[in-house]
Amino acid sequence: MDTEEKSYFMGSFNCVCQCVINNVYNASF
């Protein structure tokens, strides 16, 4: 896996994590 692919994957993963965290935060308050 080259650097560009890895950074794209990490960016997507980070976005998903943010979405999940936001949903949990909104649901719990």
pTM of the complete model: 0.58
pLDDT per position as a tens digit, 1-20: 689 999 999 999 999 999 99
Q: What is the CA radius of gyration of the chain?
A: 13
pLDDT at 28 (0 to 100): 82
Between these two residues, 28 and 22, which has the higher pLDDT value? 22
Q: 18 is written with which tokens?
A: 């943010």
